[in-house]
């Protein structure tokens, strides 16, 4: 007989965004400039690395430019002034949770002030009030791909240990301010992408050798681990009822063949990806990583109490984004793990217009394996399809998006029935926003269409797509009606 598959009661359905991709208002109410505000739009849609291409020269140009013409993340989709309308639309779909990030530079414009900017804190007060009106739980990311550019200029971002104290001054302020109003927090979005560079580390390392870059990036990761553990400790003291999680861009690697050497290669690639969660959930560096660092001449500088801080403050739950899987073999010399844009092709999978391989079954595999590895509650905090949508007679018929999401949610349901403890699902980009990797507007993810083009022209009008009505029914039926 069939085993009944269903989602648990209280499952948190919703959507996820990031401040630098939706808010706009980059220079309003005292906000400082961020690392995301100095990233130019990619010239080419296939250029997935534009967010890491910042060097000293392009930084200088960006700092002198007081417009948003070449810097789309400065304008976002003006959530800053549309948040009431947008949250109302989320509520209409029945959202139980909304994941968003706080822009650190709204609270500490330069990153190193002694006191916070009240106008910035007030904005998030208003957002939280609005969510409370509709009983939508906030899930807040403390650092989503941005930091005050002042900290890059002063100390090369996360490459410096000093940034730990700056960050934890910020986290203490927001934990105290929003105490009792926020049950779920995340520290660093996709912390593993620090190995790609600037967008996550805030450290300019363009032009350095790959060895030097590796050293800077993994040291930045270590500093983020410590800051994350300290934030965990702060939250548990300030608001004992709240929970905090880590966040990984999970990318499962499959072996290209059943040849055991390929299987080992895939396992190693997976370890390089899971290393981050291993540290944040288990509280110590795994031995395979100590070996990897030794073999690659990476030396991680530990502060006197770092090991203890990490050990004593593991996260409460584990969250991750899921977009694709990859393939590797022992013969290829590619860095299959850690970089979504590289890695081998899987002949059994289709891909999106941006070459991201679509693998719903991989989500079940990922959930089952992560549950086995950690035995901590899991949360899928990003998953979605970036596509070119056409607005015709006021409608967007995005059946392709519905298919993508349906297939992933089905597999999630299978995993839950395999015994995985899953807290919720926040689909990425419920409202169209600026793409992280290319800063395009035309790479759309939303249930809600935003009338704005790549050049920033448009009325900013919000329009419900077909998928809007579909997701509403998914939530109303707690995932039974797909
Ligand atoms: C994740 C990020 O990597 O993927 C988001 O956390 C990002 O910020 C999302 O937007 C999709 O990537 P992109 O490049 O299509 O916007």
For 287-301, 320-334, 412-426, which range has the lowest pLDDT when averaged over its residues? Answer: 320-334
Q: What is the pLDDT of residues 151-189, one digit of tens each?
A: 999 999 999 999 999 999 999 999 999 999 999 999 999
> 378 C-alpha to center of ligand 1: Å?
20
Q: Is the pLDDT of residue 332 over 70?
A: no
| pLDDT recorded at residue 340 | 43
DSSP 288-326: HHHHHHHHTT--PPPPTTHHHHHHH---SEEEEEE---E
- As a whole number of Å, the end-to-end CA separation of the chain is 22
What is the residue with the minimal CA distance to atom 15 of ligand 1? 435
For domain 12-476, give the fold.
TIM Barrel (3.20.20)
| pLDDT recorded at residue 46 | 81
CA–CA separation, 251 and 362 (whole Å): 9
CA of 429, closest atom in ligand 1: 10
CA–CA separation, 119 and 180 (whole Å): 20
- Residue 389 phi/psi, 5-degree rounding, is -100, 150
Kindly state the helix (H) or strand (E) to which residue 358 belongs, with its residue range.
Answer: strand 357-358
Nearest residue to 11 (alpha-carbon basis) of 127, 95, 133: 95
Q: What is the pLDDT of residues 345-393, one digit of tens each?
A: 899 999 999 989 999 999 999 999 999 999 999 999 999 999 999 999 9
SS3 annotation, 196-209: HCHHHHCCCCCCCC
**Tokens (6 digits) for 325:** 């899987």
Nearest residue to 351 (alpha-carbon basis) of 308, 314, 318, 400: 400
Q: What residues are labeled active site? A: 382
> 165 C-alpha to center of ligand 1: Å?
27
> 323 C-alpha to center of ligand 1: Å?
9
Contacts of 318 (CB under 8 A, 6+ apart): 245, 246, 248, 277, 280, 281, 370, 374, 376, 377, 378, 379
What is the residue with the minimal CA distance to atom 4 of ligand 1? 436
Contacts of 360 (CB under 8 A, 6+ apart): 404, 407, 408, 410, 411
* 3-state DSSP assignment of residue 350: strand
CA of 438, closest atom in ligand 1: 14
What is the residue with the minimal CA distance to atom 9 of ligand 1? 436
> 307 C-alpha to center of ligand 1: Å?
31
Q: Is the pLDDT of residue 418 over 70?
A: yes
Contacts of 167 (CB under 8 A, 6+ apart): 104, 142, 143, 227, 231
Higher pLDDT, 256 or 221: 221
Handedness of CA 464, 465, 466, 470 (dihedral sign): negative
Average pLDDT over the chain, rounded to whole? Answer: 95
CA–CA separation, 17 and 22 (whole Å): 7
| Percentage of the chain modeled with pLDDT above 90 | 93
Name residue 97's beta-bridge partners.
Answer: 14, 137
CA of 445, closest atom in ligand 1: 15
DSSP 8-46: PTT-EEEEE--HHHHT--TTSTTPPPBSGGGPPPPSSTT
Q: Is the pLDDT of residue 336 over 70?
A: no
| pLDDT recorded at residue 118 | 98
Task: Note whether 71 and 146 are within 8 A (CB).
Answer: no
Task: Note whether 86 and 431 are within 8 A (CB).
Answer: yes
The CB-side HSE value for 446 (13 A sphere, CA atoms) comes to 28
CA–CA separation, 17 and 381 (whole Å): 10
Kindly state the helix (H) or strand (E) to which residue 363 belongs, with its residue range.
Answer: helix 360-374
Q: Is the pLDDT of residue 341 over 50?
A: no
* 3-state DSSP assignment of residue 211: helix
ipTM rounded to 2 decimals: 0.99
What are the sequence ranges of the domains in the chain?
Answer: 12-476
What is the mean predicted confidence (pLDDT) over 230-242? Answer: 98
pLDDT-derived band at 334 (thresholds 50, 70, 90) equals: very low
Nearest residue to 144 (alpha-carbon basis) of 184, 186, 82: 186
Burial 41-71 (b: 16+ CB within 10 A, else e): bbeebeebbbbbebeeeebeebeeeeebeeb
pLDDT-derived band at 49 (thresholds 50, 70, 90) equals: confident
User: Where do runs of H (alpha helix) occur along 194-286?
Assistant: 198-201, 210-238, 260-282
Q: Is the pLDDT of residue 301 over 50?
A: yes
Higher pLDDT, 341 or 284: 284
Contacts of 233 (CB under 8 A, 6+ apart): 309, 312, 313
What is the mean predicted confidence (pLDDT) over 65-84? Answer: 98
CA of 48, closest atom in ligand 1: 14
| pLDDT recorded at residue 338 | 36
Q: Is the pLDDT of residue 337 over 50?
A: no
> 360 C-alpha to center of ligand 1: Å?
18
Nearest residue to 472 (alpha-carbon basis) of 6, 15, 4: 15
| Percentage of the chain modeled with pLDDT above 70 | 97
CA–CA separation, 252 and 346 (whole Å): 12
What angle (nearest 5°) sits at the alpha carbon of residue 192, between those of residues 190 and 194? Answer: 95
Task: Note whether 466 and 476 are within 8 A (CB).
Answer: no
Pocket of ligand 1 (CB under 6 A): 18, 21, 145, 189-190, 249, 321, 382, 386, 428, 435-437, 443
**Tokens (6 digits) for 26:** 């980059």
| pLDDT recorded at residue 47 | 84
């Amino acid at each position: 007989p069939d085993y009944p598959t269903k989602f648990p009661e209280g499952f948190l359905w919703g959507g996820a965004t990031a401040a630098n991709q939706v808010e706009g208002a980059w220079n309003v109410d005292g906000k400082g400039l961020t690392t995301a505000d100095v990233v130019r739009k990619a010239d080419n849609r296939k250029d997935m690395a534009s967010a890491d291409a910042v060097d000293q020269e392009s930084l200088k140009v960006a700092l002198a430019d007081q417009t948003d013409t070449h810097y789309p993340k400065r304008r976002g989709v003006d959530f800053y002034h549309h948040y009431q309308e947008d949250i109302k639309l989320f509520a209409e779909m029945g959202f139980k949770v909304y994941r968003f990030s706080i822009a650190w530079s709204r609270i500490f414009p330069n990153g190193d002030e002694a006191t916070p900017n009240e106008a910035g804190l007030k904005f998030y007060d208003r957002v939280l009030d609005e969510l409370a009106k509709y009983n939508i739980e906030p899930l807040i990311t403390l650092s989503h791909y941005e930091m005050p550019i002042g900290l890059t200029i002063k100390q090369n971002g996360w490459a410096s240990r000093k940034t730990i104290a700056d960050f934890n001054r910020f986290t203490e302020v927001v934990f105290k301010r929003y105490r009792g109003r926020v049950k779920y927090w995340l520290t660093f979005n996709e912390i593993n992408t620090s190995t790609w560079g600037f967008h996550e580390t805030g450290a300019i390392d363009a032009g350095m050798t790959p060895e030097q870059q590796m050293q800077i990036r993994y040291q930045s990761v270590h500093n983020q681990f410590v800051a994350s553990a300290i934030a965990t400790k702060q939250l548990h003291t300030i608001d004992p009822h709240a929970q905090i999680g880590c966040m990984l861009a999970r990318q499962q690697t499959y072996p290209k063949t059943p040849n055991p050497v390929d299987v080992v290669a895939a396992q190693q690639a997976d370890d390089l990806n899971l290393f981050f969660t291993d540290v944040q959930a288990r509280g110590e560096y795994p031995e395979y990583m100590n070996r990897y660092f030794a073999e690659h001449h990476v030396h991680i500088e530990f502060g006197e109490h770092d090991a203890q801080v990490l050990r004593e403050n593991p996260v409460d739950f584990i969250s991750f984004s899921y977009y694709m899987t990859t393939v590797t073999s022992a013969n290829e010399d590619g860095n299959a793990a850690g970089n979504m844009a590289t890695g081998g092709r899987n002949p059994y999978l289709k891909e999106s217009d941006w070459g991201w391989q679509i693998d719903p079954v991989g989500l079940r595999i990922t959930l089952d394996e992560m549950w086995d590895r950690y035995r901590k509650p899991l949360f899928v905090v990003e998953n979605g399809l970036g596509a070119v949508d056409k607005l015709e007679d006021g409608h967007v018929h995005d059946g392709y998006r519905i298919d993508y999401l349906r297939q992933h949610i089905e597999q999630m349901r299978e995993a839950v029935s395999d015994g995985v403890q899953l807290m919720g699902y926040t689909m990425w980009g419920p409202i169209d926003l600026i793409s992280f990797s290319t800063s395009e507007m035309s790479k759309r993810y939303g249930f809600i269409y935003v009338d704005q083009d790549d050049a920033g022209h448009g009325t900013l009008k919000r329009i419900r797509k077909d998928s809007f009505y579909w997701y509403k029914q998914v939530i109303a039926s707690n995932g039974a009606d797909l």
